[in-house]
Amino acid sequence: MIANLIVAAALMGTGTLVLWPRLTGSEAWRATVTPLASIIGSGFLVSLPLFAGALGDYALLGMTALVGVAYLLGGAIRFNIIHGEPLFDAHSHHALDAIETLSHLALALAYFISVTYYLTLFAAFLLKGLGTTDVFAGKVLTSCVLFAIGSHGLIRGLRGLETIEEYAVGLKLAAIAAVLAALAWLNLRLAATGTWRLSDLNVQVDWTSIRTVLGLLIVVQGFETSLFLKGAYSPELRVRTMRYAQLLSGAIYLVFFLLATVTLTDKSFGRDVAAVTDILKVAASSLSLVLIGGAIFAQLSAAIADAIGAGGLIEQLSRDVIDHRHAYPLVALAGIVLTWTLDVFGVIALASRAFALFYMLQCLVAAGVALLAPNVERRPLRAAGFIALTAFAGAVVVFGIPAAGI
């Protein structure tokens, strides 16, 4: 009873705060929300069972490493915003321009896949709420929603749906606050009664486990959206708010893993991507409903956002040969093919590889910018660091695999 009251209080308190007009009207908050919403969207929901299945008791350590690497990759993009954009605007270095364009092409591909990823999770959580985990039903539901998005985008455009985003972010953050509050209460209660202990998770950590973690890069992806807010915010604001978004989302992930570890057992992971609802209901019976409701709304809005992003990139890359309205059916068609070709874990790994390819190219661009842009300190050291990040992102592309063994 107390746990459910804590959940309700956290939901209402956080929801009221994040939808407070003074906050939502802040330019810095609006610039922070875009990357923040992407980073802690679906990843927050699927990360715990996937990392636990891959690393067992070392799940927190694995997430810490992934958050750290993601922050460094974000650093390369922040460097390109400040030092690279003037070079790209001047078109003074054709090789860098070509790699930058190629990275956008890779990102368009990543968006194609991520739309499928989000809607696969949307279907999984919706069906979970209806009491079933039928894979075929999930694929049918995902395909229907993709068809609806493609049709609506072709006929009327998707811009009218963008207003969902602000409320989606508020709902997601409120749901996360409720989860963290309930887990904190659970840990305090167990410690007070002397029953706090961790289960011995029977997981063998090996090279396959590491490859699986590489395949989970998408759970901390989303910070790159600040790169494409160029027309709306200054470079300095985009850099500062991307850093805020990464630090805040990283703290949320690590606190979540720290508090949720006590709930894990050998039955916490499996082929059910919505398993987090079963894992966390021990903290409060109402959390299952909170997570399912938040997940359904969050995944649909995230899919729409990425479909809009993909449509815009296709329009840009095709030099307006394909306008954004006609790009949406292409995104939907690709998503339907992926839905029936791969399972959700395969989609997650493929999406991670596609985003890693984008990050790899962005890090390569950053290395070039470090050597060519004016007013850059410690050029050789910065360039070497970006090359090292390029190699890591390349390793994700080559070695990342689906979480098939969990």
User: 251: Cβ–Cβ under 8 A, 6 or more apart, which residues?
Assistant: none
Residue 206, domain extent: 2-399
Q: What is the pLDDT along the chain (406 residues), one digit of tens a residue?
A: 788 889 889 888 888 887 788 877 788 888 887 788 778 866 777 788 888 888 888 889 999 999 999 999 999 999 999 999 888 877 777 788 889 889 988 888 888 888 888 888 888 888 887 888 888 999 999 999 999 888 887 887 655 555 555 666 777 788 889 989 999 999 999 999 998 887 777 788 888 889 888 888 878 888 888 887 777 789 999 999 999 999 999 999 999 999 988 888 766 665 566 677 777 878 888 888 888 877 777 777 777 777 877 777 787 777 777 876 788 888 889 889 988 988 877 787 788 888 889 999 999 999 999 999 888 889 999 999 999 999 999 998 999 886 644 4
- Which pLDDT score, from 0 to 100, does residue 288 have? 80
Are 298 and 168 within 8 A, CB to CB?
yes
Residue type for position 49: P
- Which pLDDT score, from 0 to 100, does residue 273 have? 60
- Which pLDDT score, from 0 to 100, does residue 272 have? 60
CA 124 vs. chain centroid, Å, equals: 17
pTM of the model: 0.85
Q: Is residue 315 part of a domain?
A: yes
> Mind giving me the DSSP string for 170-185?
HHHHHHHHHHHHHHHH
> Mind giving me the DSSP string for 240-307?
HHHHHHHHHHHHHHHHHHHHHGGG--TTS-SS-TTTHHHHHTTT-TTHHHHHHHHHHHHHHHHHHHHH
User: 148: Cβ–Cβ under 8 A, 6 or more apart, which residues?
Assistant: none
Q: Is residue 404 part of a domain?
A: no
Separation CA 234–CA 402 (nearest Å)? 38
Q: Is residue 111 part of a domain?
A: yes
Number of domains into which the chain is organized: 1
CATH assignment of the domain containing 389: 1.20.1740.10
Show the tokens assigned to 238: 């985009």
Instruction: Give pLDDT tens digits for 305-330.
Output: 778 777 777 877 777 778 767 888 88
- Which pLDDT score, from 0 to 100, does residue 405 have? 40
CA distances, 309 to each of 10, 28, 298, 390, 391 (Å): 32, 21, 16, 24, 27
User: 161: Cβ–Cβ under 8 A, 6 or more apart, which residues?
Assistant: 152, 301, 304
User: 62: Cβ–Cβ under 8 A, 6 or more apart, which residues?
Assistant: 51, 54, 55, 213
- Which pLDDT score, from 0 to 100, does residue 406 have? 40
Q: Is residue 103 part of a domain?
A: yes
- Which pLDDT score, from 0 to 100, does residue 160 have? 52
Q: Is residue 405 part of a domain?
A: no
